[in-house]
Amino acid sequence: MEDILRPIYQERASQQNTLGILRIEKRLHASPITDTFDTVLLVIVREADQSVFIKHYTYQDQKAALHIVTEEQLKEWILLGSNRKIVDWLFNGKILFDRNEYVDGLKMELRDFPFYGRKIKMGMEFAKLIRRYTDGRAFFDNHHYLDAYNHIVHSLHHLARLAVIENGFHPEVTVWNQVKQIEPEIFKLYEELVTSDESIDKRLELLFLASEFLIHSRMKSGTSHLIEVLEMKESWSINDLMHHEELQHYSVDLPILLEYLADKNCVSIENVETKGQGIFHRYYSVPKKLS
């Protein structure tokens, strides 16, 4: 297969726009890392008309995928964790071409995992965690147990990713293998949810109680990025926060996170008069005791 792919990546390597090329091989018979392809070629470019361009190839009984990705898209994936295979590809892929040691530098940055980048990722994971937990709790209270189960599974997954990031690691595709080593308490909670013989409502009741404690224990690290942004001004409207450069990636999870923190007295609510009688604008700020 490498002989067949060589002309493809050699052509890309000759272009000044190309920053690096990696080859990722399937490691298992059924591999989620390569989407079942035998080989993946990852080509990183400075810029392109399309941020992601993919081609699929077949040769005899094997198949390969070519992914051409812009530098901007790659960094967005790393920041948001929206393409969880990419970190594995960068760490474990074989470097075929590296312009000015770009790929080596990127891997070094990933290993170092700068604290600032970690804080943003922890904030986003915490916001997703609160969204899933809050919605799951509402479903549970209304006796929609299967919907509640779905949400609590997702909330535990976000809690697991948050714990991994907090410990200075990038969450892998097989995140529960990491969590078993790093935070066995969270792993045990997840295991009890999916393997217990208790009725589903009883399992959920116990899980919500335990989750509340684990969420509280990570509130400071999970909200430090948001609190830092809130401290930049005396008060904020929800629209200003949603469009702030550092918070826009929180997306639709930001409002429910703010309300959760307001309930916990970690965020203050300021009512500002509008033209309508008895109607107030709702502004958010950091309580004096926290600032």
- Give all domains of the chain, ordered by start, each with its CATH number: 1-112 (3.30.460.10), 115-285 (1.20.120.330)
Overall average pLDDT of the 230-243 stretch: 96
Report the mean per-residue pLDDT for the chain: 92
Q: 135-182 pLDDT, tens per residue?
A: 999 999 999 999 999 999 999 999 999 999 999 888 877 789 999 999
Q: 88-122 pLDDT, tens per residue?
A: 999 999 999 999 999 999 999 888 887 778 899 99
pTM of the predicted model as reported, rounded to 2 decimal places: 0.84
Q: 40-87 pLDDT, tens per residue?
A: 999 999 999 999 999 999 988 899 999 999 999 999 998 888 888 999
Looking at residue 60, what is its pLDDT? 86
Check pLDDT > 70 for residue 30.
Answer: no
Strand partners, 20: 44, 98
Looking at residue 79, what is its pLDDT? 86
